Amino acid sequence: MSGFSSRTDFPRTWNRLARALAERKARGEPLVDLTESNPTRVGLPQPAPELLATSEAFTYAPEPQGLLTAREAVATHLASRGVTVSPAHLILSASTSEAYGWLFKLLCEPGDNVLVPAPSYPLFEYLARLEGVEIRPYRLPRAHGFGLDVEEVAAARDARSRAVLVINPGNPTGHYLHEGELAALAKVCADTGMALISDEVFSDFAWDTEPERVSTVAGRSLPMLTFSLSGLSKVAGLPGLKLGWTHVGGPEAVRDEALARLEWVADAFLSVGTPVQQALPALLAHAPRFQAALLRRVKENRRRLLAARPSEATWDVVPAHGGWSAVLRIPREPGEEATCLALLEAGLVVQPGYFYDFAGGAFLVLSLLPPADVFESALGPLVRTLAQGA
């Protein structure tokens, strides 16, 4: 069709699973949604609404990098995690998705590429394509617990690779970047001139005290340009308030040049609302309460899932150390789609592994966010259906 950019010509054909789900909903049949990822819909603590109703809500004195008071609040939040950063090295956006768009603009010419992990959340291909940028996947080997293998990164790179993206911890795999992995990756980036983009939206949600875990690259002395991304959506469970942040690090000269250029990009959009920036100190003060409640929820749901697995089961729960999801490895036959359809017939909605570009087997992805009683009600049908498919 003429008149439209090819960058927005995304496939819109529904697959078999999507059609079956829509038909079941149209019939009004009950469902337990084990794909729920919206923290505002599962009964977790929320801040008082009046936090957004400030007397200065209608004032407008924009700062391209974000209001200084808001950036100072982010720096204070990071300091509570033992990370020291300067507010001058932070830039606010309406979301991490917007931040990716800005970083692709900053780092890439049309036709350049960014290295993206697989498996991971299926978003980056679309964000990159909208900027005229390509992605080149690097595999996260299951033998490494879906951890980073720097040889896979190096093998995926070509002459037009401008950055490597890490998700820390992986979504949905829940594997944190380790110190040795970061050191090896830093050398590859420094030797090849690639920047490092570290998506850390789930980094506050560790389930254990795994040694050598990297929680953030912000505030570190690294030999390459680095971008550490997070935001209110996950940190405080407030996706509707639309505020994310990016910390820019690396060698001083290239860091300062990146910040100067990003300031121009941000000034062209000025996308972050004034009320949410003014309320950010109080919203981030709410974050520990939300995070504690969420961690109790996901750890208890994971414990219940592990306890419900029969000892003779042909499926298992993939080891992980954090995040909001559980990954199940299931037999290759009947496979992901057939199993998801059978679970849908049993009243459960789960995600197939191919949605996240898993390879080397068959996988299902479950959200650990539902309330305990809802999650518990799903375990019986889940176990029975998986047993029937063996």
The two structure tokens encoding residue 6: 């090819």
pTM score: 0.96
Give the three-state DSSP class for 305.
helix
Of the three residues 232, 258, 286, the one that is the final residue of a domain is 286
State yes or no: pLDDT of 390 exceeds 60: no
Span 265-286, mean pLDDT?
95
Whether residues 273 and 174 fall in one domain: yes
| % of the chain at pLDDT higher than 90 | 91
Of the candidates 239, 262, 286, which is a domain's last residue?
A: 286
DSSP string, 189-246: HHHHT-EEEEE-TTTT-BSS--TTB----TT---SS-EEEEEEHHHHSS-GGG--EEE
Residue 373 within any structural domain of the chain: yes
pLDDT of residue 1 exceeding 70, the answer is no
Q: Are residues 374 and 252 in the same domain?
A: no
Query: CB neighbours (10 Å) of residue 379?
Result: 18
**54 occurs within a structural domain:** no
Q: How far apart are CA 265 and CA 263, in angstroms?
A: 5
Same structural domain, 208 and 150: yes
Q: Identify the domain containing residue 139 by its residue range.
A: 61-286
Q: Tell me, what's the pLDDT at 53?
A: 73
- Please report whether residue 242 resides in a domain: yes
Q: What is the mean pLDDT of the chain?
A: 95
Please, what is the Cα angle at 347 between 344 and 348, to 5 degrees? 65
pLDDT in tens, 300-338: 999 999 999 999 999 999 999 999 999 999 999 999 999
For 177-208, the pLDDT digits (tens) are 999 999 999 999 999 999 999 999 999 999 99
Quick check: 238 and 283 in contact, CB under 8 A? Answer: yes
Note whether residue 213 is domain-resident: yes
Question: Do 163 and 200 fall into the same domain?
Answer: yes
Same domain, yes or no, for 247 and 307?
Answer: no
β-pair type (90-93, 351-352): unpaired
92 and 216 fall within a common domain? yes
Q: How much is the pLDDT for 231?
A: 98
Residue 4 covered by a domain: no
Please report the pLDDT score of residue 62 as a whole number: 87
Q: Rounded mean pLDDT of 37-64?
A: 86
Q: Are residues 242 and 372 both part of a single domain?
A: no
Residue 129 counted as domain residue? yes
Both 261 and 299 in a single domain?
A: no
Residue 53, in any domain of the structure: no
Shared domain for 67 and 189, answered yes or no, is yes
In a domain, 3, yes or no: no
Letter string b/e over residues 48-68, b meaning 16 or more CB atoms within 10 A of that residue's CB: eeebbeeeeeeeeeebebbbe
Judge if 263 and 234 occupy the same domain. Answer: yes
* Tally of domains within the chain: 2
CATH of the domain at 173: 3.40.640.10
Both 104 and 215 in one domain: the answer is yes
pLDDT of 55: 62
* pLDDT band with cut points at 50, 70 and 90 for residue 63: very high
* The last residue of a domain, from among 237, 256, 286: 286
Q: What is the CATH number of the domain that holds 368?
A: 3.90.1150.10
Q: Is the domain of 116 the same as that of 233?
A: yes
